[in-house]
Amino acid sequence: MFPNLFKARMNKLLGKENKVFLRYCQKPLRITIRINKLKVENENRVIEGLKRYGWKLERIPFLEGAYEVKGLKKEEAIGNTLEFFLGYYYVQEIASMLPPLILNPEPGERVLDLCASPGSKTTQLAMIMENKGLIIANDVTLDRLKILKYNLEKYGVLNAVTTLHDGRFFWKKGLEFDKILVDAPCSCEGVIRKNYQVLSRWSIGRIKELSRLQKGLIFSAFKCLKEGGILVYSTCTLAPEENEEVVSFLLEKFGNATLEKIEIPGFKMREGIPEWEGKRFGEEVKKCARIYPQDNNTEAFFIAKVRKL
């Protein structure tokens, strides 16, 4: 199932724990939802309504409005309800909910979501901001932008404007933002549990190509960040070339970029790795967060929190 090179790289990252990691990659993901408070005033009423389908919902303590759903007869049932059609909840994986939580935009702030489609994190940002302030939700292709616009409308987002632009050159617009999210396109090693097909597209060449793209995106985003502002960079992959190497690139390019430690009570995160295959990224990248499937029974994820001094 797993390419030999993939297994070798994960073994280099995890050592003896690699067997546990690969075993978790073959387990189905938990089904989790986020109640959309832009449309829902009474969360309990929605939960009780969903229980009428025979579902069991367990609260995820460190994420507001997030629940694990059990008791589904078929997985696709999660998207076949009136509540889903009305935008009362978003089907979203736990680790995917963390970058907006860490960015934590305030109502009234100017926020850029540089790679926004399909909109899971954009809608979450709008919810955190209580639909106040401004979100620029950008993506690079018209097809992706159509999906994004659909979800913004469905989930009642009123404070977002969509733009169609190559994120690597967004800085040329001359706009400044209080908070920026760069949930970058990646090799998707972290979503194997959801979609085995990502392995058919996986290669070292693709990882290196994506790393170049990601460096362009994070460079552009930081140029758009106000002094004192926060940038969150995230991927759903474990490849150091797409994670610590990209963050290290940013720190080298900008002397006024500094990393902040990420902690979420009740959720296990591991430090970033300061070296990979002879490349030194520096001790500072240990402040980044690595999320492995076996630690919290989630997707794999990488998150970095950067402040502009």
Q: Where are the domains of the chain?
A: 94-308
Mean pLDDT of the chain: 97
Q: To 10 degrees, the CA torsion angle through 40, 43, 46, 51?
A: 160
What one-letter code names the amino acid at 240?
Answer: P
Domain 94-308: which topology? Rossmann fold (3.40.50)
Question: Average pLDDT of 6-34?
Answer: 96
Question: Average pLDDT of 71-81?
Answer: 91
Residue 210 has pLDDT above 90, yes or no: yes
Element (H, E) at 270: strand 270-271
Name residue 227's beta-bridge partners. none
Q: How many CA atoms lie within 13 A of 106 on its CB side?
A: 6
Question: Average pLDDT of 63-76?
Answer: 92
Residue 236 bears catalytic tag: yes
Residue 109 has pLDDT above 80, yes or no: yes
Residue 110 has pLDDT above 80, yes or no: yes
Q: Which two tokens stand for residue 59?
A: 């609260």
How confident is the model at residue 177, as a pLDDT? 98
Q: What is the number of H-type helices and E-type strands within the chain?
A: 10, 15
Q: Which two tokens stand for residue 172?
A: 């040329």
List all residues 6 or more positions away from 296 whose beta carbon is below 8 Å from its beta carbon: 94, 95, 267, 268
301-308 and 225-235 beta bridge pairing: antiparallel
Residue 246 has pLDDT above 90, yes or no: yes
How does pLDDT run across 261-295, given as a tens digit for each residue? 999 999 999 999 999 999 999 999 999 999 999 99
How does pLDDT run across 84-100, given as a tens digit for each residue? 999 999 999 999 999 99
How confident is the model at residue 74, as a pLDDT? 86
Q: Which two tokens stand for residue 52?
A: 């009428």
Question: Which residue out of 25, 186, 224, 236 is catalytically annotated?
Answer: 236
